[in-house]
Amino acid sequence: MISGNFQLRRAVILVYLIGLHLLAGYLTYREIRRGDYFANTIPVLNEPLEASPVPTPIPVPSELADLSTPEPTPVASENVSTGLPDLTVPVEGVRVEQLTDTFDAARGEGRKHDAIDVMAPEGTPVIAATDGVIARFFDSIPGGITIYQFTTDRKYMLYYAHLQKRAESIKPGDQVTRGQLLGYVGDSGNAGKGNFHLHFSVAVIRDPARYWEGDYLNPFPMFRRPAR
């Protein structure tokens, strides 16, 4: 009788253990089917466990430096210098808007004026239109009392004519600065008595040995305009 009870208890325990094993197997199988098991145990490939360092860019060899993308070339502004002289009106107190462009005005024997007449009262100071060097003094029947002035680069000759007199402080060979006193407005030469003005011209020097000759340029556009 005892032996029969023992056999019965052992059979019950064995069935119980088998049932637990089957239940555990079933639960594991269900988790696998749902994907939860792998989701909780296997890392996802697109979510690394730690951030990967960004590699330092390889420096460009000096031999290839010229092959790199060049810097963009700045666009030239509208007020880029033309290379021509930048001039101050050479009569003290006269503004650009008071001038008349007489460069192409007709003169006797089919000639052009090739200069600007700056009208002003007798004795008004005549000043250097730009920096430069006094080339020479010259008196003539047409121009009267005159002054020739090189620009600093010696590419252009400035000519001041019909003066009343020259300033005593200057002489040929002197360096002068923009606005420096050169002389005084007059009516010498063929200006006509009482027709007080400064005859002012600009010429490109073709031959340094004959610097008083050259190709005349209209000085009117070269005068500094007031800022707007």
Residues 6+ apart with CB under 8 A from 195: 187
d(C-alpha 159, C-alpha 178), whole Å: 15
Half-sphere exposure of 110 (CA within 13 A, CB side): 0
Place of tokens 């005068």: 223
d(C-alpha 101, C-alpha 163), whole Å: 20
96-222 domain in CATH 2.70.70.10?
yes
Place of tokens 């197997």: 25
pLDDT of residue 59: 46
pLDDT of residue 93: 94
The pLDDT averaged over each successive group of 10 residues in the chain (228 residues) is 68 74 68 49 38 42 39 33 79 90 67 84 97 96 95 94 96 97 96 93 90 87 73
Under the phi-then-psi rule, with left for phi > 0, alpha for psi from -120 to 50, and beta for the rest, what region is 17? alpha
DSSP state string for 5-71: HHHHHHHHHHHHHHHHHHHHHHHHHHHHHHTHHHHHHS--TTS-SSPPPPPPPPPPPGGGGGGSPPP
pLDDT of residue 73: 31
